[in-house]
Amino acid sequence: MKFDPEILKKLSINNKRLIARIISTVESESDLAIQILKELYINTGTAYRIGITGPPGAGKSTLTNQLTKHLLALDKSVAIIAVDPTSPFSGGALLGDRVRMNDIGMLDKVYIRSVATRGSLGGLSKKTIDIADVLDAAGFDYIIFETVGVGQSELDIAKIADTTVVTLVPESGDSIQAMKAGLMEIADVFVLNKCDRPEADKAYSSLQATLHLRNFSVEVWQPPVLKTKALLNEGIVELVDNIEKHRKFCYENSSCNKKRKKYFKERIINIVELLVKKEISDGSSKLINDSLNNVVSGNLSPYKLAEEVLLNYKSSNK
């Protein structure tokens, strides 16, 4: 496929076939992918990115569906990226998608995409971020990242989301303890889902108490705790309201900006690494192959060979 920048002009939320094609190209990490991502970046920045995370069984998919319906009712368009750390042992993502497809997937202003993060650099795939940029450039108002499995993605999602919603269930009264720093720090909004359960009040108080131990400051966003029953569609309006509150807060306070700068710095370095990797695979393949037997036999340290490769790479650019 030769790249014609004109094609990006046709990218819109209504052109799902083109969206799918561009995403597939972008996923390939080819030179073309890099070219496309460079070109379309100028059209990004309008989509608001929401992350939905939390332990398995907390109702993340249901919450995502209800949230999407509410946003649609407000005449917004929504893209959902289901991030699957791909346990080879679970078919969670596929099943989840199928259920969802019947519900909202066929609607005009909705686009759903699963991303398997297996084998990628970092828990949350670089691909996820690139795909979000494609959907952003296409013009979606909201992009929802939903983590499907368990793992690193749960925490990484906070890096790329403007608002991170952490979903918990009441029975995790003690599991709240267990979650400790990790989730407490990334949440912009807590959702206590399945609040028809008897332990709901206790879990709510316990969560509030934990949050009150944190540092208070008007310049730092204080994450609210919302009670929802996603299956019954209760509490979703409040969720949308609180997401918007957080959005407004970040618009007015620079404290949120720090997180974004840090994220972009990481992203840029990751891209540089990708570019170097590509160039090395092309240019230093012979050098590596020639010395590989020495490494496999334990006679040459991979670290020493890596240094040689790097020197070779640098000198080839002189």
State which residue, 104 or 158, has the beta carbon closest to a second copy: 158
Q: How far is the CB of 153 from a second copy (least distance, A)?
A: 9
Helix residue ranges per DSSP H, 214-315: 236-252, 255-283, 285-296, 302-315
CB of 70 to a second copy, least distance (A): 26
Residue 237 CB, shortest distance to a second copy, in Å, is 28
Q: Which is nearer to a second copy, 123 or 139 (CB)?
A: 123
* Residue reference for tokens 């004109």: 6
Question: Reading across the β-sheet that carries 225-227, which strands appear in turn?
Answer: 110-116, 78-84, 142-147, 48-53, 163-168, 189-192, 225-227
DSSP states of 116-149 = E-TTSSSSS-HHHHHHHHHHHHHT-SEEEEEE-S
Give the count of alpha carbons within 13 A of 311, CB side only.
7
Strands 78-84 and 48-53: unpaired
**For a second copy, which is the closer residue by CB, 102 or 289?**
289
In whole angstroms, the minimum distance from the beta carbon of 168 to a second copy comes to: 10
Query: Does an H or E element contain 112, and which?
Result: strand 110-116
| Cβ 106 to a second copy shortest distance, Å | 27
Shortest distance in whole angstroms from residue 312 CB to a second copy? 10
Q: Which is nearer to a second copy, 16 or 260 (CB)?
A: 260
Q: Output 54 or 224, the one with its CB closest to a second copy.
A: 54
- Between 249 and 313, name the residue whose CB sits nearer to a second copy: 313
The answer to whether the beta carbons of residues 186 and 158 sit under 8 Å apart is yes
Q: How far apart are CA 188 and CA 184, in angstroms?
A: 9
- Minimum CB separation from a second copy for residue 282, in Å? 12
User: In this complex, which beta carbon is closest to a second copy, that of residue 87 or of residue 233?
Assistant: 87
Instruction: Give the burial string for 3-21 (b: 16+ CB within 10 Å, else e).
Output: eeeeebeebebeeeebbee
